[in-house]
Chains A and B, each alone.
Chain A
Amino acid sequence: MDRHFDEELQKVKKDLLEMISLVEEAITKSLEALKKQDIKMASEIQEIDHQIDKFEIAIEEQCIELIARHQPVGADLRFLIGVIKMNNDLERMGDHAVNIASYVAYLIEQPRIKPVSNIWSMAREVKEMLNDSVKSFMDNDAARAQKVCERDSVVDEMRDETIRILLTYMLEEPETIGSAIPLLLVAKNLERIADLSTNICEDVIYIAQARVIKHHAEERELGSY
């Protein structure tokens, strides 16, 4: 006979994975809308975000109820605490997708700017990071999660490079400021999505191995000896 509690934990995981697929859809669609300058597609992101928000509330309630009723310990406790934190990070990712989509209508009315291919490379890298963080959660794979965390600095460098390119455009042709600033904000939002993917991976490592790696906690502990 399976433990009913295990079934309830699986239900939480299933709901979180459904929420993740909505977050991935929102991010992919917002970037596509940006690339194609498609206002209709951009307007669809808001509805996806509403669904993400509903999942966030439902998952949080499930976790609180399970903690209150079952007093989980060990891996079960770490799983529920990890899910509560991931849930919050995923909801924020949905908000960043909404932000990206919101720049589409504004950009259409601005003068065209030279292509900034860096943004699309960055978008690719960010989507891959999110995809790998999701896989690490699904497989409880701390090693994969660790690798995702290490890629965060790559995205930070891409963001800095994008800012440099856009600043150069603005200095050379001030009339491009109206187009460049939204793209700067897109870069900023993508970088935040990468940060949140890193947070998810830190939670996966905590769930799988009970290790806290955020803020380089382990290195600090070793350094104190």
Chain B
Amino acid sequence: MIIKIANLNLYYDKFQALKNVNLSIKENLITGIIGPSGCGKSTLLRVFNRMNDLIKNVKITGSILIDEKDIYSPVYDLILLRKNVGMVFQRPNAFPISIFDNVAYGPRVWGINDKKTLIEIVERSLAAVDLFDSIKDRLKDSALSLSAEKQQRLCIARLLAVEPQILLMDEPCSALDPIATGKIEELMLELKKKYTIIIVTHNMQQAARVADEVGFMLLGELIEFNSVKKIFTNPSDERTFGYISGRFG
């Protein structure tokens, strides 16, 4: 078990966005979080790297352990947490600098300035997202010259460059066409061999295709958490069945 959440409650002022969530996430699996808009799935994802800290008047109770360490403990190193738990967003957010510098950005922040080492990291990270061969002659070009799919791959390579353990993906394909979506999904299936992935998606078929375990959320509650096979062939809760069969949501 890499992440363990117990009795998690999260409030935005008086509004309770997460209600008594209990969840265990296993290593080297893809965990999908599905549910209708506003159910709290993105809020839950942002708990894992404390992105919610950036929002005013957020109150969190309960415990969130990564590798048995409480990430909300005052002594927990937040910078290390963000390195260890990388995040991919809905729209690719490549920096308006070269492709090389995008990937080298994180390692440089972490004090790696040796050129040979940086080249090695950049090449390895781009290769891991199946991007290196197609852009190896264009590493000095602006990252913004790449297609949306390649920019999203680049953003994932940028995370891998600092050797994280967990990848959080918040609707990573919502800005991509179906072909590009298929390619990113294939990439996720490759990456799970080395990383633990948590994906939030409103596209439940995407969760069905790539996830190993799936949680269904509704109105801030984790209604059901099960293997993808169980969720999509015989869900335990009627509300899960109602949602995945399109009867509501």
Contact = CB atoms under 8 A, between A and B. Distances in A.
Interface stretch (B95-103, B112-120, B183-191): B183-191
Nearest to B233: A68
Contacts of B186: 1, 3-4
A5 B209 CA distance: 8
A1 B232 contact: no
B130 interface: yes
A1 B187 CA distance: 9
A64 B182 CA distance: 21
A64 B208 CA distance: 13
Nearest to A4: B189
Contacts of B233: 64-65, 68
A71 interface: yes
Nearest to B207: A69
Interface of B (DSSP majority class)? helix
Contact of B229 (A1, A65, A70, A71): A65
Contacts of B182: 3
A69 B228 contact: yes
B205 interface: yes
Interface size class of A (residues with CB under 8 A): 10 to 19
Interface string A54-87: 0000000000110011110000000000000000
A205 to B, nearest CB: 29
B130 A70 contact: no
A69 B208 contact: yes
A81 B183 CA distance: 26
B241 to A, nearest CB: 12
A71 B183 contact: no
A68 B130 contact: no
Given A65-B233, A68-B232, A68-B233, A1 B190 contact: yes
Interface centre among A4, A64, A70, A71 (most CB of B within 10 A): A4
B210 to A, nearest CB: 8
Nearest to A69: B208
7 closest A-B pairs by beta carbon, nearest first, are A68-B232, A69-B208, A68-B233, A4-B189, A1-B186, A65-B229, A69-B232
Interface of B: 130, 182-183, 186-187, 189-190, 205, 208-209, 228-229, 232-233
Given A3-B182, A5-B209, A69-B209, 4 more contacts: A1-B183, A65-B233, A69-B232, A71-B208
